[in-house]
Amino acid sequence: MTIRLQLHRGSYAGEMLPAFARRLIVGCVAFDRAVLDGWAFGGAGRLARLVSRALAWADTWMVDGSLRLAAWTVVPLSHLARRLQKCSAQGALLVMTAGLIGLALYCIRFAHHTAR
């Protein structure tokens, strides 16, 4: 039966609209399942979870790890610096002499490499 004949009989709202609405609803549900739940947003959700896991790993091991390493090295160095600040003049002279010997050895080695 053609649309014109159905309109002429007045059965447009009675027969065509529910059938059209039913097809539209079935099409929308199929589109939602196939496209939106499937590869479009389902894939985006999987990608977002993957990226968030990678960022959480980087934060845990790289950022927190570097801060833990810095804290692990600063605490002993601060105890050493505190001990050097509280020492006597003899201890200060010993540290300065060791630094001077180290600097002289470095300069001799540097002069040896530039003379080649």
Q: What range defines the domain where residue 7 resides? A: 3-85
Domain co-membership, 57 together with 95: no
State whether 115 and 68 are in the same domain: no
Same domain, 81 and 100: no
Q: What is the DSSP string of 52-65?
A: HHHHHHHIIIIIHH
Q: What is the pLDDT of residues 5-36, one digit of tens each?
A: 555 555 555 555 566 667 777 777 777 777 76
Cα gap 33→6, rounded to integer Å: 33
**Helix 64-85 and helix 89-115, axial crossing angle in degrees, nearest 10:** 120
pLDDT at residue 15 in the model: 58
Q: How far is CA 59 from CA 30, 76, 86, 100, in A?
A: 40, 25, 39, 42
16 lies in the same domain as 61: yes
Number of structural domains found in the chain: 2
For residues 52 and 73, state if they share a domain.
yes
| Same domain (yes/no): 22, 79 | yes
In tens, the pLDDT along 80-107 reads 888 777 777 787 888 899 999 999 999 9
Are 58 and 108 in the same domain?
no
Residues 40 and 97 in one domain: no
State in Å, rounded, how far the first CA of the chain is from the last one: 103
Encode pLDDT of 47-79 as tens digits.
777 888 888 888 888 888 888 888 889 888 888
Q: Are residues 43 and 14 in the same domain?
A: yes
